[in-house]
Structures are given as C-alpha cells and as structure tokens.
C-alpha cells in the first residue's frame, strides 16, 4: 500500500510538472505584447472622456511618436485646451500653453500630477512603452476575462526610477493584448487599474481602441480613452520633435 501511495504521488508530481511546463515564459509573452503594439513611428488621434465628481468632459488630441524616446501631442478640443502641446524627448517633458504663451518643463514631483484632470499622470506618458525594458515577468495563472482566455502575469520592476514597482496583467493568449492591468506601489498598495473594453484589427495588429483608466487613490469613475485613428510606421519629419514646434 505504501509503495502504491508513493507511486501515485510520483505520478501526481510528474503531471503537475508537465502542466506547468505547458506555460510559456513570462518574458516570451511580454515580448509578444510589446511586438504587437510597437512600431517605429505612430500618428494617432484620440479622445479622453474624464469622469469627475462634478461631471464628465472630453479632451481630443493628436499625437506623433518616434520609437520609445520621442513624442509630441497637440490638443485639439475643447476650445480652452486647444493648442496646448506636449513634447517628450527621452526623459524630459515640456508643455506649451497658448493662454499664457509659456513653455514649462515638467520634472520631479510634477510628473505625478494629472494630465488634463484625467486619471493618467505625466509619469504614465513618460514611461517606456516596452514593458520588457522595465519588468521581470512571471506567469502565475490562466484566467478568462471578458470571454477571452488570458495568461496572468506578475511583473516586478528591474529597478531604477519607475512609476509602478509591480503590475499584474491579463494577456489575451491569442492576440497578445493586455486586457486588464493592476499597478502597484513598492508597498503593495494598488495605485491604478486599466481595463480594455474594445479591440480592433489595425494594420494587421490587435489594438485596444476603448480603454478605461482608474486612479484608485481618487474618487470618480475613471477616464475613458478612445482611439479614433492610428497610422503605424508613419513618415514623420524630425522637426516635429523639437522645442521650436511647441510654438508653431
């Protein structure tokens, strides 16, 4: 009987080991996520609907991105924000506001401030979009989210100055899109959540076109993000990514 129990336990361990081996590595999954969303250059038009305590308002913008180091955003609406521009060059960020005709550099604690009153901070905009550059990844589970079979990954910071020490993300097994995220401080406190509501096929990529961001430290229903158009690997003049373009 003891031999039989030992043999049965051994079979159980082997089966469990084989099951665990069926999971791809967290690093491999994260690389696929980065590959799906990544492009040399991007031009997009988007709208943020910010749901605050006193009601909702929308902000529309057009953005130009070159790799992971350069981005330029111009706000198109509403009228009071039209013409506001934001330029990112590596780890530096400048904002031009036409109402004051001034350009200011955003740095230090100011990066934690909200962008246009949304649930997104300047740090969120400054972050390297390639998660493999920032985090170690480990698969911890398989779950179904919004009727999509997902890998659940635990991401831990590789170190350095980073907005979120760790994350938990749900990655669509077929499309390699992050369907849901929970972002944590070093203390383990939940800071922000992110949920994808809609995905569309654009230039042979699966791209989230409707997302909801929620700052868990704030009241309100969060910020909805709608991607209206996206052109990947677009031809963008280098002059766009200069401080001179802020005043044009």
DSSP 3-state of 31 = helix
Within 8 A by CB and 6+ apart from 96, the residues are: 84, 85, 86, 87, 102, 103, 246, 247
Q: Give the pLDDT band (50/70/90) at residue 3.
A: very low
Question: 């791209």: which residue's tokens?
Answer: 207
Cα 48 to Cα 82: distance, rounded to the nearest angstrom = 14
Distances, alpha carbon 12 to alpha carbons 8, 15, 140, 239, in Å:
6, 5, 20, 63
pLDDT in tens, 15-28: 555 444 589 999 99
Give the mean pLDDT of the chain.
89
The arithmetic mean of pLDDT across residues 235-247, rounded, is 94
- pLDDT for 63: 95
Nearest CA to 205 out of 169, 180, 175 is that of: 175
Handedness of CA 101, 83, 43, 38 (dihedral sign): positive
> pTM of the prediction?
0.86
What's the DSSP call for residue 24? P
**With contact defined as beta carbons under 8 Å apart, do 88 and 70 qualify?**
yes
Q: Please, which pLDDT band fits residue 108 given cuts at 50, 70 and 90?
A: confident
Q: Which domains does the chain have, with CATH numbers?
A: 26-247 (2.50.20.10)
pLDDT band at 8 (very low <50, low <70, confident <90, very high): low
| Whether residue 128 has pLDDT greater than 80 | no
- Tell me the CA distances in angstroms from 116 to 124, 197, 200, 218, one per residue in order: 13, 22, 26, 15
Nearest CA-CA partner of 44 in 66, 24, 16: 66
Collapsed DSSP state (helix, strand, coil) of residue 245: helix
Dump pLDDT digits (tens) for 145-178.
999 999 999 999 998 888 899 999 999 999 999 9
Ramachandran region of residue 187, left (φ > 0), alpha (ψ -120 to 50) or beta? Answer: alpha
Q: How far apart are CA 76 and CA 70, in angstroms?
A: 20
CA distance 106 to 114: 12
């Amino acid at each position: 009987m003891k031999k039989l129990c030992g043999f049965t336990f051994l079979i159980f361990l082997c089966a469990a080991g084989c099951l665990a081996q069926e999971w791809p590595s967290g690093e491999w999954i994260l690389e696929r996520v980065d590959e799906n969303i990544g492009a040399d250059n991007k031009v997009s038009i988007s709208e943020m609907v910010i749901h605050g305590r006193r009601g909702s308002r929308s902000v529309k913008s057009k953005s130009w991105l070159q790799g992971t180091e350069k981005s330029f955003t111009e706000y198109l609406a509403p009228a009071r924000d039209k013409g506001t521009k934001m330029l990112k060059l590596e780890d530096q960020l400048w904002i031009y506001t036409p109402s004051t005709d001034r350009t200011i550099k955003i740095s230090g604690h100011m990066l934690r401030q909200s962008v246009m009153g949304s649930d997104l901070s300047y740090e969120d905009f400054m972050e390297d979009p390639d998660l493999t550059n920032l985090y170690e990844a480990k698969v911890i589970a398989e779950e179904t989210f919004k009727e999509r079979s997902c890998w659940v990954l635990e991401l831990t910071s590789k170190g350095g100055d980073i907005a979120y020490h760790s994350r938990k993300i749900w990655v669509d097994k077929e499309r390699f899109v992050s369907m849901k995220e929970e972002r944590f401080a070093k203390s383990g406190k939940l800071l922000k959540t992110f949920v994808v509501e809609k995905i569309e096929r654009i230039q042979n990529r699966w791209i989230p076109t409707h997302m909801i961001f929620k700052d868990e430290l704030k009241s309100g229903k969060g910020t909805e993000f709608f991607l209206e158009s996206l052109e990947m690997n677009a031809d963008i003049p280098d002059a766009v990514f200069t401080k001179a373009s802020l005043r044009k």
